[in-house]
Amino acid sequence: MLDFMDHVQNAFYTSTNWNVDNGYTRLNSSAQSILDFRTPRGLRFHLSSLSTPNFATSYSLGSISVIDGSLSYLYSTLPLSSPKSADVDLRLLSPGYRQHHPWKYPSPTRDDALMYGRMFLPSGTLEALYLKRLGATKQVRVTAVSDSKLKHGGTILAMLQQDTGKWSSEYLYSTDVALLGWRGLWNFGEADPRPEGDKPVGRFSGGAEVYYGVLNKSAGMSTGLRYTTLPQHPGIPLTMTLTLNPLMGHWTATYAVKVGEKAAFASRFEFNMFSYESDIVMGAELWRSKGEEGMEGVLKAKMTQNGSLGLLWEGRLKELLFSIGGAVDFRRGEGMVKVLGVEIAYSS
């Protein structure tokens, strides 16, 4: 389940017409959200509220080993809609299969900004985020963390994002190891409002990323390709991706398919051609609806090659949102349950 603040940020992106999905890091987001869901650990409560349309607060309290918690504040120059836990669409909070649409040119927007800070207790770690739109196609995103345990006391990551619809690119710099990075995505095909003719049923996208750590003189890169069906596709929606890390010889192939409104399946196969190591993960998400009002809950499950099973059940109980999950390893006799957790959230 998405954090309240993540949800508010998504609302900000939506309000400012920023297409988060049009980026290289979201190339295989469909498979990722089905396979790499986060399972809660321990008991955790979230209490959030959008006090004014521009200001939000959130508190969380958890108990994994010791009582720990965090308090966060968010300010947006753009008034945001209030995501109450009683009536928010669960699909926004628990993203699953991602339906892509034909790309379109960005529409002009205001230069809005968002600021967010979070303090973790009792560790004293401080997180901060600054988000600023620069015209119709650009956005600056700066994140920082301050923690005495980290090297140099903290890290700042600055990112310039550019999205023209047809293509997108991101330039980033991290103060940790002086990491420089670039990543880009290219969408093949025509823009959405086609003047005439039949609409496309699918779309290819290709991209790449390159990183270089100045201080540790290490580099990293990958390249990827995606095919996804568009809403006009007559058959079942599906997304296929193939990524390659040429330095490490690592291939990753994902396949995600949406079967009807309530079910989606995904699989991921990884192979390293240098070490001959391989891995396969399969997962599914099953939605449960309640009449016409939308979705009531979702069950996510994944199974890995080494026999471990991850389960997550998220839903709404009255005005509370809950998330129950755990990981089970069948190969271990006793102590099969490795992780178990419950999260309860209320927001107004």
Residues that bind other proteins (CB under 8 A): 24-25, 27-28, 125, 127, 129, 143-145, 147, 150, 155-157, 159, 172, 174, 176-177, 179, 181, 183, 209-211, 213, 216, 218, 220-222, 224, 243-245, 247-250, 252, 270, 272, 274-275, 277
- Minimal distance, residue 143 CB to other proteins, in Å: 5
Check residue 107 and report its DSSP letter: P
Q: Smaller CB distance to other proteins: residue 153 or 231?
A: 153
Q: Smaller CB distance to other proteins: residue 270 or 329?
A: 270
What is the residue whose two structure tokens read 């209030």? 82
Residue 168, both tokens: 């997108």
Q: Smaller CB distance to other proteins: residue 139 or 243?
A: 243
Length of the chain: 348
Q: Smaller CB distance to other proteins: residue 30 or 85?
A: 30
Span between the terminal Cα atoms of the chain, in Å: 17
Phi, psi of 236 (to 5 degrees): -75, 145
Which 3 state secondary structure label does DSSP give 92? helix
Contact 80, 64 (CB under 8 A): no
Q: Smaller CB distance to other proteins: residue 35 or 298?
A: 35
Q: Smaller CB distance to other proteins: residue 24 or 287?
A: 24
- Minimal distance, residue 197 CB to other proteins, in Å: 33
Expressed in percent and rounded to 5, the helix, strand and coil fractions of the chain are 10, 55, 35
- Minimal distance, residue 217 CB to other proteins, in Å: 8
Rounded distance between C-alpha atoms, residue 265 and residue 19, angstroms: 24
Rounded distance between C-alpha atoms, residue 323 and residue 49, angstroms: 19
Measured CA to CA in angstroms, residue 133 lies from 54, 72, 105, 129, 259 at distances of 16, 22, 16, 13, 37
- Minimal distance, residue 279 CB to other proteins, in Å: 10
Rounded distance between C-alpha atoms, residue 238 and residue 259, angstroms: 9
Q: Smaller CB distance to other proteins: residue 113 or 253?
A: 253
- Minimal distance, residue 288 CB to other proteins, in Å: 30
- Minimal distance, residue 309 CB to other proteins, in Å: 22
Rounded distance between C-alpha atoms, residue 20 and residue 172, angstroms: 16
- Minimal distance, residue 261 CB to other proteins, in Å: 29
